[in-house]
Chains A and B, each alone.
Chain A
Amino acid sequence: RKEVEQDPGPFNVPEGATVAFNCTYSNSASQSFFWYRQDCRKEPKLLMSVYSSGNEDGRFTAQLNRASQYISLLIRDSKLSDSATYLCVVIPGGTSYGKLTFGQGTILTVHP
């Protein structure tokens, strides 16, 4: 089983739609979780950290379910500019710096 798994998609949704991605992780001691966004042929950029209590930033909501070992990202009112690859990132438990573990990414395409 991979340490971090994502549905690669692609997800094709119309503008204004709500779309959700899930990401599962295998190490139950994992301590930190993030969603990064990567545009085509560009570097990943931090979208948001994921906290135990869940967090929201505008149209984006991230949640963590430790019991089932998954994190989710919800995008409401999708915009064309949301088209990108969304990377789930986990810092496994018991590791030190530099040990980010990346999922393979979920491709989102928002169409008019």
Chain B
Amino acid sequence: DGGITQSPKYLFRKEGQNVTLSCEQNLNHDAMYWYRQDPGQGLRLIYYSQIVNDFQKGDIAEGYSVSREKKESFPLTVTSAQKNPTAFYLCASSIIGGGGQETQYFGPGTRLLVL
């Protein structure tokens, strides 16, 4: 089955700890994205990548880091600098080349909670 997988489903972070959220896709999509969703709010873009070894900051990149060493993988690290990390984190992917109308497909998400 083709799709996007995220792990873990739930993640608990202690104060001052860095944690990494996994995102893998086997759709052969070039572009991948990370979003954050807070209760009652829309999704906000953290980082995105259009090609391996390249990525760009989104609207709320502070306190986060990413890597794109493989086309199918785009892990997100929530660093200790992110002071309010509790949220629902969603990874998405899309093709490139549709003139800006590429549909983004989402993974099942990871809920991050601070202990």
Contacts and interface: CB of A to CB of B under 8 A. Distances in A.
A58 B107 CA distance: 26
Interface in B69-102: 88, 90, 94, 96, 100-102
Chain A binding surface SS class: loop
A43 B107 CA distance: 6
Interface stretch (A60-68, A69-77, A92-100): A92-100
Contacts of B88: 41
A9 to B, nearest CB: 11
Contacts, number: 59
Interface in B2-54: 31, 33, 40-45, 48, 50
B45 A98 contact: yes
A43 B106 contact: yes
B45 A104 contact: no
B103 A46 contact: yes
A108 interface: no
Contacts of A87: 42-43
Interface of B: 31, 33, 40-45, 48, 50, 56, 58, 88, 90, 94, 96, 100-109, 111
